[in-house]
Copies of this chain bind each other. A is one copy, B any other.
């Protein structure tokens, strides 16, 4: 048995205990974890400094270092994040309805934990406490495999959470940490079919792609968003400009940002110059198809690759389309099934777009930036699923549950 298999087996054993904890106990443990994070803030800052020193040595750029950096305030936010999870409704043990079948059996479908959840993630140390607390609240053991950049921070954070469990005579193996950040171990985790019930990768497109390609365990694909805004011929210029600029620049590095603008030919000549002015002011580089280029003096010509690129930057691809059908066809061909929006005053265009665009979240007259578990009102987010099975779109605690049928009989046999 390899180290990772042993760790998986321990997680599996802890999961069966964790699944039986009642809500009050889980919440008490979470509250104590939050306190422990706060009480150990000095040690956490020291560990984080080791990560930052390593980042310096490796010449990591400032924007990455900022994602990595912890402060007193950020540590407080992590603790408050755990407290917030404690306050959420327990997703386990819910039976939405029970019914009596024709044999007189009373049948109910009850939510249960999935079991052992693996999370592979990059850089930000707050994912460690986020993911651990969400898995704990939903009764799942978790195996965390963070990036090497935040190794010391992650390792210390997990040991603080584990200590809290141990002090409560509960198995610390419910929260597992892989202290080997080699690719070999990550790949082994992806194939740990005997012990891992699901693997959720959180990170860039390359990570997701690698996991999807190599995993033997079930995966919930999250993340990449090549999102479009389509300005219909009946769209309002001001609303279109506000929503487009918000979706492009409010936070360009995130998965629900907009990457391509599609615009109906009837409004392109009038709208595009006004939009260009605004985008240039905001520092956005434009890559336009030939038709759009006629109205956009500052744009360079878009390549085929641009239509499928998630820029995650101050870059926008722009294309003029003949019709809403062309817009929808372009979107369904190039998108990553994340978030798509139409700007229109026309009822039928709005309904058509909602019906025919294939994505986790489809908007009428609103920014794609709203695709988020907190904004949707789920109180938490473990990621945004871009796949169609199990969960699609922002995933709250419920996405971390499975179900089982419980059946009450009084001696029934099948005829």
A101–B405 contact, CB under 8 A? no
Contact of A370 among B360, B376, B389, B412 (CB under 8 A): B412
Interface-centre pick from A16, A218, A408, A412 (highest chain B CB count, 10 A): A412
Q: What's the Cα separation between A243 and B410 when bound, in Å?
A: 10
A388–B410 contact, CB under 8 A? no
B114–A389 contact, CB under 8 A? yes
Q: What's the Cα separation between A13 and B74 when bound, in Å?
A: 48
A376–B405 contact, CB under 8 A? yes
Given contacts A366-B411, A407-B364, is CB(A390)–CB(B393) below 8 Å? no
A392–B402 contact, CB under 8 A? yes
Q: Which of A377-406 contact B (CB under 8 A)?
A: 377, 387-390, 392-394, 402-406
Assess whether A38 is interfacial by the CB under 8 Å rule: no
**Binary CB contact string for chain A from 90 to 110 against chain B (1 if under 8 A, 0 otherwise):** 000000000101110101010
B376–A107 contact, CB under 8 A? yes
Assess whether A369 is interfacial by the CB under 8 Å rule: yes
A99–B218 contact, CB under 8 A? no
* Extra inter-chain contacts (19) besides given A361-B404, A364-B407, A365-B411, CB under 8 Å: A16-B332, A20-B356, A101-B370, A101-B375, A103-B375, A105-B366, A114-B389, A115-B358, A115-B388, A243-B413, A362-B406, A363-B409, A364-B408, A366-B409, A366-B410, A367-B413, A369-B413, A389-B390, A392-B403
Tell me the A residues contacting B by CB distance below 8 Å. 16, 20, 99, 101-103, 105, 107, 109, 112, 114-115, 197-198, 213, 216, 218, 220, 239, 242-243, 246-247, 250, 332, 350, 354-356, 358-367, 369-371, 375-377, 387-390, 392-394, 402-414
